[in-house]
Structure 1
Amino acid sequence: MAERPVLYTCAGSRGLRATWAAEEAGVDVELKLLPFPPRFTVPEYLETNPLGTVPMLVEGEVQMTESCAIAHYLATKGADQSLVVAPGEPDYPAYLDFTYHADATITFPQTVYMRFALFEKDKGWSEAGEAYAKWFWKRLVKLEQRLETREFLCADRFTVADICCGYALILAGRVGLDEGLPQSLRDYRDRLTAREGYRRAVAREAAGPAAI
């Protein structure tokens, strides 16, 4: 019998991508919630993940720490493969591009903004936070243009690319970055967060058991 995947995460973190993908794909994962930031609040977690980051997926010998990769991996384990765009489909390159675009281009300036404007704002780095906020907003242009004539990013259906990029827009609303968000992307975010899979994922994280 295959081992049940174990997902270590913090509620509302980038790990939500993985929880969301599991819910959409109907994949049973054991969810273990950690307080944020786990490397300081639960130092014994470093024995499981030396990086001290979340999410982390453990399944037998499999160990994964990148949220978009975990979301893609879990989606491939579901009975319904519609969350993944296959190599033979015309939008396969776009699917890969937007899935990687989510963290490499969009979420990165968000995390720096959060450090300067939220976590360490008492250090007088507000100007740096504002600069990264503007950088984040400028980097939304690719999503905005892609969605001008589409409901979802790839293959005329909801996929992991939407989960990965959509999370960045969800995070924007939580950390004070909505000011520069175009209305079209707000509408897109509304479509994503109205999904039952998303709502189940958020509910699971809210009620998840402690990991340690």
Structure 2
Amino acid sequence: MKLWHCYNSRSVRVLWALEEMGFDYEVETIPFPPRVFQKDFLDVNPLGTVPYFVDGDVAMTESTAICLYLVEAHGKPDFGLASDHPDYGDYLNWLFQSDATLTFPTAIALRYSAMEPRERRQPQVVQDYAKWFLGRLRWLDRHIDGRDFLCAGRFTIADIAVGYALHLADIVGMAEHFSPQVTAYLERLRARDGFKRCQAVDPDQDPFKNYTPKFTVEPREKNQGAA
């Protein structure tokens, strides 16, 4: 197995899963975004995105899908759920919600607050998508209250998928608006040895190490009508 990885990008999900599951693998850390700073990466992955993961003849680009592949194709059921488990619907929903509902608006806010050239930054876009993200946390707020993990009372790749979304939101500067139960959940995930080992891989490549959020969002109580 080989993973192309950018520090604190979506490829964190895959690296974290590889560490938790104890696989032997090769990791190549590249600067973010690689399609700008390492153009020869386009010869490897024409999308120019990370993660990029290969396992024999298998090549994959989607972080949560790779985590699911590791569970199902490599026999790691302790990190997933079988289709006959009562929490299977929740498990699938969290896997898909982690990117489509949670990571997407945070990535937009990050892009237009810091990653674009100054003349292309859009404060109103940042505000709108930050509010969107915080509004979409309502499902997690309710679900995680009184639970340590999302499904089946144990750690699964659903926690990796959603945990990265929260980790990125913290980088962007939205963690101060998390509910107490979401804050505690993120702290539990970050305390895991697998996450710590993941974060120890080339931290000097962190593209956000000098990033300071340039925006604020209204308190969550005022965001209940957010779209």
Normalised TM-score (structure 1): 0.91
Compute the displacement of 1:184 (Å): 1.2
d(CA) in 2 for partners of 1:60 and 1:14?
Answer: 22
Match of residue 201, structure 1, among 171, 182, 198: 198
Encode CA deviations 1:19-62: one digit per residue, 9 max, x unaligned: 00011111111111111110111111111100000001011210
- For 1:84-99, what aligned pairs fall within 5 Å after superposition? 84-99=80-95
Compute the displacement of 1:63 (Å): 0.5
1:155 aligns with 2:152: yes
Encode CA deviations 1:157-190: one digit per residue, 9 max, x unaligned: 0000000001111111112122321121110000
- The amino acid of 1:153's aligned partner reads L
Number of residue pairs matched by the alignment: 204
- The amino acid of 1:20's aligned partner reads W
Q: Where in structure 1 are there 5+ consecutive unaligned residues?
A: none
Match of residue 142, structure 2, among 145, 152, 163: 145
Match of residue 131, structure 1, among 120, 128, 131: 128
How well do the aligned residues superpose, as a CA RMSD in angstroms?
1.7
Encode CA deviations 1:93-144: one digit per residue, 9 max, x unaligned: 1111101100000001001101111223723511211111111100001111
Compute the displacement of 1:13 (Å): 0.7
2:115 is aligned to 119
1:21 is aligned to 17
Match of residue 176, structure 1, among 165, 173, 176: 173
Q: Is the 8 A contact 1:27 1:77 kept in 2?
A: no
**Secondary structure of the residue that 1:31 maps to in structure 2?**
strand
d(CA) in 2 for partners of 1:43 and 1:130?
Answer: 32
Q: 1:94 to 1:111 in 2, by over 3 A?
A: same
1:34 is aligned to 30
Q: Is the 8 A contact 2:70 2:76 kept in 1?
A: no
2:39 is aligned to 43
Compute the displacement of 1:207 (Å): 8.1
Identity of aligned residues (%): 42
d(CA) in 1 for partners of 2:203 and 2:74?
Answer: 23
d(CA) in 2 for partners of 1:116 and 1:127?
Answer: 9
Q: Is the 8 A contact 1:20 1:197 kept in 2?
A: yes
d(CA) in 1 for partners of 2:85 and 2:183?
Answer: 28
Normalised TM-score (structure 2): 0.85
- Of stretches 32-41 and 171-180 in structure 1, the one that deviates more from structure 2 is 171-180
**Secondary structure of the residue that 1:157 maps to in structure 2?**
coil
1:110 is aligned to 106
Compute the displacement of 1:77 (Å): 5.6
1:190 aligns with 2:205: no
Q: 1:154 to 1:16 in 2, by over 3 A?
A: same
**Secondary structure of the residue that 1:186 maps to in structure 2?**
helix
d(CA) in 1 for partners of 2:41 and 2:137?
Answer: 34
d(CA) in 1 for partners of 2:75 and 2:122?
Answer: 48
